[in-house]
Amino acid sequence: MLNEILEETETVMEKSVLFFDIDGTLLSEKTGEMPQSAVRAVQLAKKAGHLLFINTGRTICSVPSEIRKLSFDGYLCGCGTHLFFHEEELLASSLERARGRQIIDKMYECGLAGIAEGSEDVYFPSRITRFDKLESTRRYFREKGMGIECPIDRDGFVYDKLFIYADGQSDLQSFLTFIAQDMEALDRGGNAYEVVQKGYSKATACEFMLDRLGMTKEQAYVFGDSSNDLPMFEFALHAVAMGRHDEVLEPYTEFVTKTVEEDGIAHAMEHYGLI
pLDDT at 211: 98
Task: Look up the domain containing 119 and give its range.
Answer: 97-197
pLDDT at 13: 41
Residues with Cβ within 8 Å of 162's Cβ and at least 6 positions away in sequence, in order, are 103, 104, 107, 114, 115, 116, 117, 183, 194, 195
Residue at which a domain ends, from 176, 197, 218: 197
pLDDT at 180: 98
Planar angle of CA 35, 39, 45, nearest 5 degrees: 140
CATH code assigned at 117: 3.30.1240.10
DSSP label of 244: S
User: Is 21 in the same domain as 45?
Assistant: yes
Q: What residues of the chain score a pLDDT lower than 50?
A: 2, 5-6, 8-13
CATH code assigned at 216: 3.40.50.1000
How many distinct structural domains can be found in the chain? 2
pTM above 0.75, yes or no: yes
pLDDT at 71: 85
The dihedral of CA 255, 261, 262, 265: what is its sign? Answer: positive
Q: Which residues pair with 52 in a beta bridge?
A: 18
The stretches of 48-114 forming alpha helices (DSSP H) are 65-68, 97-109
Distance CA 31, CA 242 (A): 16
pLDDT at 12: 40
User: Is 41 in the same domain as 123?
Assistant: no
pLDDT at 4: 52
Element (H, E) at 174: helix 172-179
